[in-house]
Structures are given as C-alpha cells and as structure tokens.
Amino acid sequence: MISARVDRLRDTVPLVQCLTNTVVTQFTANVLLSAGASPAMVDTPEEAADFARVASGVLVNLGTPTAAGYTAMREAVRGAGEAGTPWVLDPVACGGAAARTSFAGDIVRHRPAAVRGNPSEIRALAGLVTGETGPSVGGRGVDSTDEVESASVAAAAVSAATGAVVAVSGPRDLIVSTRPDGTTRTTRLTSGDPLMQRVVGTGCSLGALTAAYLGAELSGATGSTGFTGSAGPDLHTAVVAAHAHAGAAGTAAAREASAPGSFAVAWLDRLYSLSAADIAGSVSLDE
C-alpha cells in the first residue's frame, strides 16, 4: 500500500504550498522537488488564501513566526478549508514561547488533515485541545527530550479532538488517527538514521512531504483516477507513506555518507532515486 502511494505522488506531482520558517525554506523546496512534488512558498497575507484554494496541499509550520506570518497562516487555512485542500500543522516549539503555543492551540481547531511534531510538541498540543496538562516536559527548542512513545496518549487525544492524523516523529515514528467509530488506529514505523538529527530541516520538510502525500491521496478522489477498487482515500496511510519515503531515504543515505554535509546531499538524492518498491521494502511497520 505504501508502494502505490509513492507511485501516485510521482504521477500526480502535487503542488504544495509551504508557510514555513526561514531556516528551512530552501531545503524544504528541494525535498519536495526530489521526492516528486512541486513546491510553492506562497506565504504572504495577500496571496495565501487564494493559493491554498488551488494547491494540492498546504504546510503550516510555526517556526520563526512573524505577525504577518501568522496572518498568512490564518488566511491559508481559511482558503484550504473553503476548497477542501488538506493542510498539515507542524507545531514547532509548541509548549515553549507563549505566543506560538497560543496560536497553535487556536489554529489546530481548524481541521488540519494531519499534525506532525516531536513528542514534546504533541504533548503540549494535547494539553491545549483537552485542557489537561500532562507530566511536565523538558523541551529545549525543537530538540525533543521525550521519547516518542510517551506521546502516544497525547497523539490520540489530539486526533480525537481535531480529526487529524497525528504523527510523532522520532527513531520510531508513531502515526495515530481516529476511526469513524472513535477507536484509535496506530502505526509505528522504524526507519531513518540518527544523522537526520544533524541536518536542519529533515523534520520540517517531512511536514511538507506529508502535505504532498495527502494532496496526492485526495487528487482525483472523487473521479475516475482514484484508486481502482479501493474504498477511497486513506489519509492515515498517506501519512505513513510520507514517513516511509523520508525514512527509507535516510537509511539509504547513511549507507553512503557518515557525516552531516554529505548525508544531506545523499538524502536528497535518495528521495529522488529510490523506487516505490525500495521505499516500501526498507521500512519496518508495526500496526
């Protein structure tokens, strides 16, 4: 099922609008281009809503926010909501600075298709949507000091409250969604390499890749180009496929590079060159 999604991404070349932080804009665009999507960094208040109506998917990443950036994010989410464009929230440093935590707690109520973050961010977000605070979290910037599993209850709470697929990134990714009957669906995915933590933007660009996979999943969902014989789009699996693609490329890159500079180059190369079968065969799934 992952394999089909990778092929679909490359066939449909989804247009992904990124409202993201200034540190990772270039790398995020290159990740999307390498993986098979098309980036558009349209992030001004004037243009964000209109573009979100025509984009395949939208990423809203809260790193390095400005006042104008917040306005643009609200506009993009509004446009996405009106047009049914799937959007992804990456709540960078949620639980840290008050202003962005407050913004995250508000914007997450506008029905993101997915949320992707590290454990401390997802736990902080869970506190915002449920009104409960979990055990105190030792966050320092964007480097999570929690383990992924410690955020599983929080991830399920965020999913239940928002309807989003929630991905907690780490050595073993946790992807959680809520079924129509209210039960929780969970997938654990082991892939990647520790060197990914030494390259800025591997996490942020995974948020963009998630938006790309969601866009590909929903493109033609109502028409004849949808999955033949399928029960329709499956956003949970699309999010898993995004993480598999990024993780498999990380595993492959680590075979040819042992330091961060060349690893980043190799990661982009493998996002591009790994076949759908390579990707599906490289990751370890537990669901």
Smallest gap from Cβ 164 to its own copies, in A, equals: 26
42 half-sphere exposure, CB direction, 13 A CA radius: 22
Which one, 183 or 225, has the nearer CB to its own copies? 225
Which one, 60 or 176, has the nearer CB to its own copies? 60
- The verdict on whether residue 201 carries a ligand-binding annotation is yes
Smallest gap from Cβ 190 to its own copies, in A, equals: 23
Smallest gap from Cβ 23 to its own copies, in A, equals: 5
Positions touching its own copies (CB under 8 A) are: 15, 21-27, 29-30, 33-34, 38-44, 46-47, 50-51, 54, 63-66, 68, 97, 99-100, 140-143, 197-201, 258-262, 264-270, 272-273
Residue whose C-alpha is closest to residue 190's, from 215, 216, 208, 172: 172
Smallest gap from Cβ 223 to its own copies, in A, equals: 19
Which one, 65 or 233, has the nearer CB to its own copies? 65
Which one, 66 or 230, has the nearer CB to its own copies? 66
Please answer whether residues 187 and 213 qualify as being in contact, where contact means their C-beta atoms are separated by less than 8 angstroms: no
Secondary structure element (H or E) that encloses residue 243, with its range: helix 235-256
Cα-Cα-Cα-Cα dihedral sign, residues 80, 84, 85, 89 = positive
Please answer whether residues 175 and 227 qualify as being in contact, where contact means their C-beta atoms are separated by less than 8 angstroms: no
Which one, 50 or 234, has the nearer CB to its own copies? 50
Secondary structure element (H or E) that encloses residue 190, with its range: strand 184-190
- The verdict on whether residue 116 carries a ligand-binding annotation is yes
Smallest gap from Cβ 225 to its own copies, in A, equals: 17
Please answer whether residues 39 and 208 qualify as being in contact, where contact means their C-beta atoms are separated by less than 8 angstroms: yes
Please answer whether residues 48 and 77 qualify as being in contact, where contact means their C-beta atoms are separated by less than 8 angstroms: no
Helices (H) and strands (E) in the chain, counts: 11, 9
- The verdict on whether residue 1 carries a ligand-binding annotation is no
| Residue ranges at the known binding site | 41, 116, 169, 201
Annotated binding-site residue numbers for ATP: 116, 169
